[in-house]
Homo-oligomer: A and B are copies of this chain.
Amino acid sequence: MATIKDVAARAGVSLGTASRVLSGSSATSPESRARVQAAAAELAYVAHGPARSLRRSRTDVLGLLVSDIRNPFFSELAHAAERDALRAGYSVLLANANEDEAQADEYLGIFASQRIDGLLLSPQGPVTPRLSALVASGMPVVLLNRHADGLDAPLFETDNEQGVGLVLDWLQRHGHRDVAYVGGPASISTGAERLAAYVAGRAEHGITTSDAFVEAGDFLPDGAAAAMTRILDRGVRPTAVFGANGPTTLGAVRALHARLGREAASAIDVISFDDLDWFDFTTPRISAVRNDAASIGRLGVRGLIDLIDGRPVESQRVAMELVDRSAA
């Protein structure tokens, strides 16, 4: 591969001039510029990123660590974040924790070694030593959708309380009393907050306060199916099920079908925190509260870049919207 030295030689200028032309860092004569650009094109020159990073002590790479890339919420978020980062001149190193703390920590090590310029993080619960070391070293960090105790970073998240409020209203409007709640791990802020909001509001919405109807999964389909099954195994028969995120609702619906059969399952209303592609096609349709994953991704990228550039950044909550499919 051609180096900048080759380009300079071919253009008949010094290395410094070639560098200035190619990185546009300072003024150059039109003549040099033309010669250097021609030489670069002829040699198919591509700047050596690692060398440039070493010299400039920045990489123009952002790290994005999501909890579960197969969750459409996060794949949508990652997609939007990546696009916006690219537009701002950053690449994104995407890592998937798969809702696993150890795996998340491993990726933080890779990020540290790659010397990313900033981190977009959807944390898996507690702050690990590696994470606090990263923060202590001055790494700009923004949190996506979940906060981590003791980590003081701007947070871009859905408004869990408001979202759960929309669900509670919907349940009440439909006269549901025996509602099953399939949640996420208490160790994850979204899991804890959504549960807290549900528990706090259920009584005044006419919903049973029996904890026989409440179980926590792991925010993945299999764990949620197991949780749903545990509820059914108690012999209780909910008239509605509330899944605390997208994969959770998928797992819950699967369990309903597996355990009760298609017929009986279709007598149960389902409502979901996070909207999925296929909720229009089930019987009955599945309603949901939806937030714009793409917005959160974009807010996160913008916030992180502001942080990198030393501008102040405020946390932000994104309101949720009810997608009511019960009428149709």
Are A94 and B94 touching (Cβ within 8 A)?
yes
For the complex, count residues of A whose C-beta is within 8 A of B.
Answer: 48
- Residues on B with C-beta less than 8 A from A46 are 109, 112-113
| Complex interface residues of chain A between 66 and 119 (CB less than 8 A to chain B) | 69-70, 72, 75-76, 78-79, 82, 86, 91, 93-96, 98, 106, 109-110, 112-115
B51, B254, B282: the one contacting A282 at CB < 8 Å is B282
Distance (Å) between the CB of A217 and the closest chain B CB? Answer: 16
- Residues on B with C-beta less than 8 A from A93 are 91, 93-94
B54, B79, B133, B281: the one contacting A96 at CB < 8 Å is B79
- Residues on B with C-beta less than 8 A from A49 are 50, 113-115
Distance (Å) between the CB of A59 and the closest chain B CB? Answer: 7
Are A79 and B53 touching (Cβ within 8 A)?
no
Does A283 have its Cβ within 8 Å of any Cβ on chain B? yes
Does A1 have its Cβ within 8 Å of any Cβ on chain B? yes
| Complex interface residues of chain A between 33 and 80 (CB less than 8 A to chain B) | 44, 46-51, 53-54, 59, 61, 69-70, 72, 75-76, 78-79
- Residues on B with C-beta less than 8 A from A271 are none
Cα A315 to Cα B209 with chains together (Å): 58
- Residues on B with C-beta less than 8 A from A75 are 69-70, 75
How many identical chains are in the complex?
Answer: 2
Mark each residue of chain A from 237 to 257: 1 if its CB lies under 8 Å from any CB of chain B, else 0.
Answer: 000000000000010011001
Distance (Å) between the CB of A44 and the closest chain B CB? Answer: 5
Cα A297 to Cα B34 with chains together (Å): 44
Are B50 and A115 touching (Cβ within 8 A)?
yes
Are B79 and A106 touching (Cβ within 8 A)?
no
Cα A250 to Cα B277 with chains together (Å): 8
Mark each residue of chain A from 258 to 285: 1 if its CB lies under 8 Å from any CB of chain B, else 0.
Answer: 0000000000000000001110111100
- Residues on B with C-beta less than 8 A from A26 are none
- Residues on B with C-beta less than 8 A from A25 are none
Given contacts A79-B98, A254-B280, A257-B280, 4 further A-B contacts (CB under 8 A): A49-B113, A49-B114, A50-B114, A281-B282
A-B contact pairs, 22 of them (CB 8 A): A1-B137, A44-B133, A44-B137, A48-B54, A49-B50, A50-B59, A50-B115, A54-B54, A69-B79, A70-B75, A75-B75, A91-B110, A93-B94, A94-B94, A250-B277, A253-B281, A254-B280, A277-B278, A278-B281, A281-B281, A281-B283, A283-B283
Counting from the closest, the 4 A-B pairs by CB-CB distance are A278-B278, A50-B50, A50-B53, A94-B94
